[in-house]
């Protein structure tokens, strides 16, 4: 991954992924690296801007095919909004917090909506 600081104080993250399981792995990777971009932006005093994902070997396993065919028929919901909050004292800026000390309670995801679950098993 590579971070880029824009002239206006924005922060973007570009990640190259060599092997991409489109059914199970990629959704988790997108969420994880987007959250990491927010964390790095918060600790450096920048504004998160974008996450760019470049995929090498993007693939669909045969036992995921029917679920992914269903998924692509679904109309996407509006994107949720992510806000990071300080650990304890709201007066203490996130720029003083070490990156490795973030906790799940600091992530406030507003407006998240999802379609019904599509079960997929890990392929061997």
Mean pLDDT of successive 10-residue stretches along the chain, which has 124 residues? 97 97 95 96 94 97 96 96 84 84 93 96 83
Q: What was the pLDDT predicted at 97?
A: 85
What is residue 26's three-state secondary structure? helix
Q: What was the pLDDT predicted at 86?
A: 85
Q: What was the pLDDT predicted at 93?
A: 80
Tokens encoding 71: 């998924």
**Strand duo 81-84 + 47-59: pairing:** unpaired
By the 10 Å C-beta count (0-12 exposed, 13-18 middle, 19+ buried), 67 is classed as middle
What is residue 121's three-state secondary structure? coil
What span, in angstroms and rounded, lies between the C-alpha atoms of 45 and 97? 11
Residue given tokens 């991409």 in the structure block:
20
Prediction pTM value:
0.89
Q: What was the pLDDT predicted at 107?
A: 95
Task: Please name each of the domains of the chain with its CATH number.
Answer: 2-110 (3.30.572.10)
């Amino acid at each position: 991954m590579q971070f880029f600081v824009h002239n206006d104080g924005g922060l973007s993250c570009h990640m190259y992924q060599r092997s991409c399981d489109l059914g199970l792995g990629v959704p988790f990777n997108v969420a994880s690296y987007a959250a990491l971009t927010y964390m790095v932006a918060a600790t450096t005093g920048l504004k998160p801007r974008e996450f760019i994902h470049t995929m090498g070997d993007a693939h669909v396993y045969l036992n995921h095919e029917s679920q992914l065919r269903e998924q692509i028929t679904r109309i996407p919901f509006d994107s949720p909004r992510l806000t990071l909050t300080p650990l304890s004292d709201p007066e203490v800026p996130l720029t003083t917090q070490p990156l490795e000390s973030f906790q799940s309670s600091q992530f406030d995801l507003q407006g998240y909506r999802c379609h019904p679950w599509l079960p997929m098993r890990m392929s061997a």
